Amino acid sequence: MVKMKMEQTLNVYTSSQYNQEVEELVERTGMKYLDAILHHADENKLESETIAKLINANLKMKLREEAEQLHFLPKTAKLPI
């Protein structure tokens, strides 16, 4: 309990906590993942270098798929299932 209060006071994020908050923000507001990540970083005064270390593989995959749909990244080849 004390550790959690200290982390909240210092705004220290674990990877799982950060990713959960971004997912909740996307679900609650309907934002795109990129917008949600940037919004969350701005609201919590997080540096881009810090965010890069916190994003897990699942969120990276969703972010990449979204970027491909928006034509920010070239589409990756996918095998038919």
Residue at 77 is within a domain? no
Please state the length of the chain.
81
Q: Count CA atoms closer than 13 A to 62's CA, side-chain side.
A: 15
Residue at 5 is within a domain? no
Q: What is the pLDDT of residue 10?
A: 54
The model's pTM is 0.77
Residue at 50 is within a domain? yes
Q: Which domain holds residue 46?
A: 11-69
Q: What is the pLDDT of residue 6?
A: 45
Residue at 28 is within a domain? yes
C-beta of residue 64 within 8 angstroms of C-beta of residue 24:
no
DSSP 45: T
C-beta of residue 18 within 8 angstroms of C-beta of residue 55:
yes
CA distance 40 to 47: 11
Residue at 39 is within a domain? yes
Residues of the chain with pLDDT below 50 are 2, 6, 9
Residue at 76 is within a domain? no
C-beta of residue 25 within 8 angstroms of C-beta of residue 40:
yes
